[in-house]
Amino acid sequence: LQNILKKVEEKSDRESTALDAHKELETVVKACNEGVRKMSRTEQMISIQKKLEFKIKSVPIISHSRWLLKQGELQQMNGPKTSRTLRTKKLFREIYLFLFNDLLVICRQIPGDKYQVFDSAPRGLLRVEELEDQGQSLANVFILRLLENADDREASYMLKASSQSEMKRWMISLAPNRRTKFVSFTSRLVDCPQIQCVHPYVAQQPDELSLELADVLNILDKTDDGWIFGERLHDQERGWFPSSMGEEILNPKIRAQNLKECFRVHKSDDSQRRKLGSRNRQ
| Nearest alpha-carbon partner for 173 in 98, 244, 120 | 98
What amino acid is encoded at 90 in this protein?
K
Residue spans of the domains in the chain: they are 55-174, 180-281
Arch. (CATH architecture) of 55-174: Roll (2.30)
C-alpha distances in Å from residue 166, one per residue of 39, 69, 104, 128, 161: 28, 14, 17, 14, 6
Between residues 107 and 179, the one the model is more confident about:
107
pLDDT of residue 50 exceeding 70: yes
Determine the pLDDT at residue 176.
81
* Number of C-beta neighbours around residue 245 at 10 A: 20
Q: Answer whether 256's CB lies under 8 Å from 205's CB.
A: no
pLDDT at 89 over 90: no
Q: What 3 state SS string does 216-240 have?
A: EEEEEEECCCCEEEEEECCCCCEEE
Residue 85 pLDDT grade (very low, low, confident, very high; cuts 50, 70, 90): very low
The terminus-to-terminus CA distance of the chain in angstroms comes to 33
Whether the pLDDT of residue 200 is over 80: the answer is yes
pLDDT of residue 15: 72
Confidence of residue 30 (pLDDT cuts 50, 70, 90): confident
Q: What is the mean pLDDT of the chain?
A: 83
Q: Answer yes or no: are the C-beta atoms of 2 and 268 closer than 8 Å.
A: no
pLDDT at 83: 45
Confidence of residue 185 (pLDDT cuts 50, 70, 90): very low
Amino acid 19: pLDDT: 73
- Band (pLDDT 50/70/90 cuts) for residue 138 is confident
Contact 233, 254 (CB under 8 A): no
Higher pLDDT, 53 or 14: 53
Instruction: Inform me whether the pLDDT recorded for 282 exceeds 70.
Output: no
**Residue 183 banded pLDDT, cuts 50, 70, 90:** low
Higher pLDDT, 20 or 282: 20
Residue 139 clears pLDDT 90, i.e. is over it:
no
Predicted TM-score of the model (pTM): 0.76
Query: What kind of fold does domain 180-281 have according to CATH?
Result: SH3 type barrels. (2.30.30)
Q: How confident is the model at residue 77 (pLDDT cuts 50, 70, 90)?
A: confident
Q: What is the pLDDT of residues 228-264, one digit of tens each?
A: 999 999 888 999 999 999 999 999 999 988 888 887 7
Percent of the chain with pLDDT over 70: 79
Q: Residue range 34-47: average pLDDT?
A: 84
pLDDT above 70 (res 12): yes
